[in-house]
Structure 1
Amino acid sequence: MSRIGKKIIAVPAAATVTIDGQTVTVKGPKGQLSWTVIDLISVKLENGEITLAPVDESTRAKSMWGLSRTLIANMVHGVTEGFEQVLELVGVGYRAALKGNDLSLQLGFSHEIDVVPPAGVTFAVPKQTEIRISGSDKQAVGEIAAKIRRIRPPEPYKGKGVRYAGEKVRRKEGKKK
């Protein structure tokens, strides 16, 4: 039995959930998300609570049970509160700026790097060395944050690069004479 799959998803008053066959659609103040659940899982909406259960006892149904519950819970959380990822720029001359909705990065290359946000994701730059990525889709927010970090990942000798807020970079000792 899946411990995660058994949990009930409480739908807040700000969100509305509709289930059409196997497609779950969640609308809220931060947007609308929809996802089609695999046929091995049954989804029910009763009294403002979503419950999921496997249709049969197959291994695939059991493994998809917890995943489906987590994805639907993330959709409900995303349209009501949203998700945010914070990146830090560490290095001399490393800075970020907004050009309209696009993000312009100077990361020690000979040119600026412009990043276009995907649909439903917004960038904010409170400081030149801090980037805030927010949106209602957890996967889209995490994916664009990973793509930005991949441009210049933190290096182990000086610690320069793009890192997640609070990320610890394991430092190495340099050359000795």
Structure 2
Amino acid sequence: MSRVAKRPIALPKGVEINIQPESISATGPKGTLSVPKPVAIDVKIEDGNAVFATDDASQIPLTGTLRAILANMVKGVSEGFERKLELVGVGYRAAMQGKDLSLSLGFSHPVVFNTPEGITITTPTQTEVVVAGADKQRVGEVAAKIRGFRPPEPYKGKGVKYAGEVIIRKEAKKA
């Protein structure tokens, strides 16, 4: 068995895992998430921990993957995930208009982004956007879509970047 799959997942207080023959779902204070369950992988709850096992040698890598996905689901429904974005550039601003995110990114028109279901977007300041939710993949996908409206350019570093992201700068042409 893979090293990742051997480690049990500790279930925090308030998180419940429901194992069906075709799916596994995790329920907690932040919501409910589910994932399809491969037939050859056994998942059991023992002493407040989720334990994984398989007899099929071809399913060993998938067991580690399922364990990692389920660990992210447990963390998501108990604590949640968030990605912070920063807007760098003169006149670059973000503001919430109801459930829509309005971005001024140097275009002739504002970019309006509709917030998907299960995701919350907040703007603590005009140049910061925080994307939060229970599903790690959806939070990252929404943050990447927002960053994709104006990715940071390498000469001045202007654009939408992740908080803490280092933009490698290029030197401008010399005459």
- Which TM-score applies when normalising by structure 1? 0.96
8 Å Cα contact 1:15-1:80 kept in structure 2: yes
Query: 1:6-37 deviations in whole A, cap 9, x for unaligned?
Result: 11001111111111123111111111111111
Q: Is residue 2:113 matched to residue 1:115?
A: yes
Q: How many residues align?
A: 175
Once the 2 structures are TM-superposed, how far is the Cα of residue 126 of structure 1 from its aligned partner? 0.3
For 1:127, what is the secondary structure of its paired residue?
coil
Give the Cα separation in 2 of the matches to 1:151 and 1:94. 12
Q: Report the equivalent of 1:128.
A: 126
Once the 2 structures are TM-superposed, how far is the Cα of residue 40 of structure 1 from its aligned partner? 2.6
Query: 1:25-76 deviations in whole A, cap 9, x for unaligned?
Result: 1111111111111123111112211111123112xx1221111000000010
Give, as a single letter, the amino acid of the residue that structure 2 aligns with 1:26. A
Give the Cα separation in 1 of the matches to 2:157 and 2:166. 9
Q: Is residue 2:95 matched to residue 1:97?
A: yes
Q: Is residue 2:104 matched to residue 1:138?
A: no
Give, as a single letter, the amino acid of the residue that structure 1 aligns with 2:78. T
% identical aligned pairs: 54
8 Å Cα contact 1:16-1:28 kept in structure 2: yes
Q: Report the equivalent of 2:67.
A: 69
8 Å Cα contact 1:118-1:140 kept in structure 2: no
Query: 1:69-127 deviations in whole A, cap 9, x for unaligned?
Result: 00000010000000000000000110000011111111011111111121110001001
Give the Cα separation in 2 of the matches to 1:149 and 1:27. 30
**Structure 1, unaligned runs of 5 or more:** none
Give the Cα separation in 2 of the matches to 1:27 and 1:66. 21
Q: Which aligned runs of 4 or more in structure 1 are off by greater than 6 angstroms?
A: none
Of residues 15-24 and 145-154 in structure 1, the stretch that sits farther from structure 2 once superposed is 15-24
**Structure 2, unaligned runs of 5 or more:** none
Query: Equivalent of 1:160, from 132, 136, 158?
Result: 158
Q: Is residue 2:49 matched to residue 1:49?
A: yes
Give, as a single letter, the amino acid of the residue that structure 2 aligns with 1:12. P
Give, as a single letter, the amino acid of the residue that structure 1 aligns with 2:74. V
8 Å Cα contact 2:21-2:37 kept in structure 1: no
Q: Report the equivalent of 1:150.
A: 148
What CA RMSD, in Å, does the superposition of the two structures yield over aligned residues? 1.0
